[in-house]
Amino acid sequence: MPKHVLLVDDEETLTWSLAKSLTQDREVYELTTANDGETALSLVRKDSFDLVVLDIRLPGISGLDVLMKIKEEKPATKVIIMTAYGSSDIKAKAKARGSLYYLEKPFEINQLRELILKALREDTVKGFNGSITGLQLPDLIQMNCLSQVTTALYVRKDQREGCIFFEDGQITHAQIGAIEGEEALFTILSWSSGSFRFVGGIKAPAVTINTNWEYLLIEGMRKADEMSMALEKGEIDERDLAPIDESTRIVVKNISSLNECTGIAVISADNEVLYQTGTIAGDIDMPYVTKFFLDLSENLGQLLPSTPKKVSFIDQNRLVLIYPFKIHVLVLLFNRAVLSQDTISSIERVISRYQI
């Protein structure tokens, strides 16, 4: 079966000339052409191309950005970069973003032809496919930082997936859902098992980490050790490793220490239960409670100058308190209908302290 090759260059006459010359290899591959980056990306998303021959200077989105998008969305697609504005910097950027070969204009048509045939003969992209067992996350992070590559490390544990971004030997960003930066990185480092995959050439959507990677690893391992010791001592359980940030975890731990508190839940605005403890899961219909609170806040916000800071109700002689906390909804369950003013003050003092 013929391979599929996409040729992208903004000069229509050059594209036509190259396409005509390359037809001598039509038994090996079928050739499609495009004259701008947006069209090229649209074609790559619709069809399966084995190889893209890509000029850097394109109208609209640049060739390097097209290359990054291709490697992000179709990492197995090989890419040959060609340019009339060659430099060591451009070559390095193209390689870092996943370019297989780099060709400077002007070139002989046979040079391009040989590169295309060579790329198509290779069954896989350069590098190795496989798996590594027994390594810890710090080993993978150190390996990436020392190799000074631009890549993204996706880490999955159970139903949660986080991502760590690397650029030129530094960690630039980490994310788990809505949690970003160092807090997300330390949470990922606390996972003792799971699976991982690398996607080369992807740059971070934002830079949220500026600290040296060696310090981050030391601090992350220290926090992971503390978490492991707390698990062994029974001070926390596995659910404390849910994807909530450190300050939310502190609030949960402080309020959980109250004798009257029989359960806590942290719920996202999308009704995803991020954390729950005690008997709250069996005692309260949390999706309904969250929806009720969000709807009430929205409706009252239209009538009053500010939305409610707290909603409370009593159910079978048990008090339920609902607070907006950061981007979450905090639901607290107590084994009595009325709390002392000191207890209420303590709860609200802890919440207000870690709200920002």
pLDDT of residue 307: 67
User: 275 with 170, same domain?
Assistant: no
User: 12 with 109, same domain?
Assistant: yes
Task: State the residue range of the domain holding 281.
Answer: 244-353
168 and 148 in contact (C-beta within 8 Å)? yes
Q: Who wins on pLDDT, 33 or 221?
A: 33
Using the predicted structure, report yes or no on whether residue 242 has a pLDDT greater than 80: no
pLDDT of residue 125: 46
Residue at which a domain ends, from 200, 228, 256: 228
Q: pLDDT class for 246, splitting at 50, 70, 90? A: low
Lowest mean pLDDT among 235-239, 249-253, 262-266, 335-339: 235-239
Percent of the chain with pLDDT over 90: 16
Residue at which a domain ends, from 121, 153, 174: 121
Report the CATH number that the domain containing residue 48 is assigned in CATH: 3.40.50.2300
Residue at which a domain ends, from 121, 146, 181: 121
Using the predicted structure, report yes or no on whether residue 354 has a pLDDT greater than 70: yes
Residue 126 forms part of a structural domain: no
User: 250 with 325, same domain?
Assistant: yes
Q: pTM, whole model, 2 decimals?
A: 0.43
Using the predicted structure, report yes or no on whether residue 11 has a pLDDT greater than 80: yes
Residue 248 forms part of a structural domain: yes
116 and 51 in contact (C-beta within 8 Å)? yes
Average pLDDT of the chain?
81
Residue 127 forms part of a structural domain: no
Phi, psi of 132 (to 5 degrees): -125, 130
pLDDT of residue 350: 86
Residue 130 forms part of a structural domain: no
User: 220 with 291, same domain?
Assistant: no
Using the predicted structure, report yes or no on whether residue 26 has a pLDDT greater than 90: no
Q: pLDDT by residue (tens digit) across 97-147?
A: 666 788 888 888 888 999 899 888 865 445 555 556 666 788 888 888 888
User: 87 with 164, same domain?
Assistant: no
Q: pLDDT class for 278, splitting at 50, 70, 90? A: confident
Residue 276 forms part of a structural domain: yes
pLDDT of residue 71: 81
pLDDT of residue 124: 46
User: 248 with 210, same domain?
Assistant: no
Q: pLDDT by residue (tens digit) across 174-231?
A: 988 767 888 889 888 887 778 888 887 777 888 999 999 888 988 888 877 766 665 5
**SS3 sequence, the chain?**
CCEEEEEECCCHHHHHHHHHHHHHHCCCEEEEEECCHHHHHHHHHHCCCCEEEEECCCCCCCHHHHHHHHHHHCCCCEEEEEECCCCHHHHHHHHHCCCCEEEECCCCHHHHHHHHHHHHHCCCCCCCCCCCCCCCHHHHHHHHHHHCCCEEEEEEECCEEEEEEEECCEEEEEEECCEEHHHHHHHHHCCCCCEEEEEECCCCCCCCCCCCHHHHHHHHHHHHHHHHHHHHHCCCCHHHHCCCCHHHHHHHHHHHCCCCEEEEEEEECCCCEEEEEECHHHHCCHHHHHHHHHHHHHHHHHHCCCCCCCEEEEECCEEEEEEEECCEEEEEEECCCCCCHHHHHHHHHHHHHCCC
Lowest mean pLDDT among 62-71, 92-101, 339-348: 92-101
> How many structural domains comprise the chain?
3
Residue 131 forms part of a structural domain: no
Q: pLDDT class for 5, splitting at 50, 70, 90? A: very high
User: 51 with 99, same domain?
Assistant: yes
Residue 236 forms part of a structural domain: no
Q: pLDDT by residue (tens digit) across 298-311?
A: 776 667 666 677 88
Residue 238 forms part of a structural domain: no
Q: pLDDT class for 283, splitting at 50, 70, 90? A: confident
User: 21 with 114, same domain?
Assistant: yes
pLDDT of residue 233: 58
pLDDT of residue 172: 94
Mean per-residue pLDDT, 7-15:
90
